[in-house]
Amino acid sequence: MVFDILTVLPGFFTSAMDQGVIGRAARAGTITVRAHDIREYTTDSHRTVDDAPYGGGAGMVMKPDPIAAALKAVAIKGGAEEAPDDSPILILVTPQGRPLTQKIAAGLAQQKRIVILCGRYEGVDERVRPMVDMELSIGDYVITGGEVAALVIVDAVGRLIPGVLGSSASSEADSFSDGLLEGPQYTRPELFEGAGVPDVLLSGNHKEIERWRRFESLKRTFERRPDLLETLELSPEERAVVDELKRQSEGF
């Protein structure tokens, strides 16, 4: 998997992409992360990437011409050697995009190349939007630029690529992988500041452990993200658990 990131701050990614799981995967050659400076695709002596908005208003807007040149150079020419027959998917990170979900991350993990455009200032010129395939947001808040969001996408997608994590089971049990939040986890010591580990986890009964984990996952989702349960397809037993949790919460 190759991630190409278009940014005005290429140095932002130097340290971040050399750390942890993603850093190990990059050193092993499982993934490649490359940051490209949009300023390299400007045509004026000042390397200008932004300008005042037409019609007035606060802030600056990223110019379309250097972005278009960068997208063409990186998405087309930049991928010729690695995957000449595979067109990359082009992503713009913006607060106006679709919320990034585990399902979207899993879909992106099937791609061979992803190009991520980092918006900045007051955003990009509207004429850039038709050039991308997808707009993504990492939440209902505004940050100073798309670089942090690009890191989130690389991490969320990269960890799902085979060989990046030590075990595929690690990602399969993640929160949101099956639409639910992950339940509580415990490790040694068995007793910590007076708090112990649930007996079922010490029982060695794998069937009961899985049942307990599923119940706790349902309970945690109900308590913290009940909206996730509204569209989730549950078994009759799981639906009965949720109904009981509702009754308990309502004091019946």
Catalytic residues: 95, 122, 159, 174
Q: Give the Cα separation of 196 and 188 in Å (integer).
A: 10
Of 75, 93, 73, the residue nearest 2 (C-alpha): 75
Query: 221: part of which helix (H) or strand (E)?
Result: helix 206-224
Please give the span between the terminal C-alpha atoms of the chain, in angstroms, as a whole number.
52
Residue listed under structure tokens 């050659």: 29
- 197 exposure class (CB count in 10 Å sphere: 0-12, 13-18, 19+): middle
3-state secondary structure 140-198: CCCCCEHHHHHHHHHHHHHCCCCCCCCCHHHHHCCCCCCCCCCCCCCCCCCCECCECCC
Q: Give the Cα separation of 205 and 202 in Å (integer).
A: 8
Residue listed under structure tokens 């606060």: 58
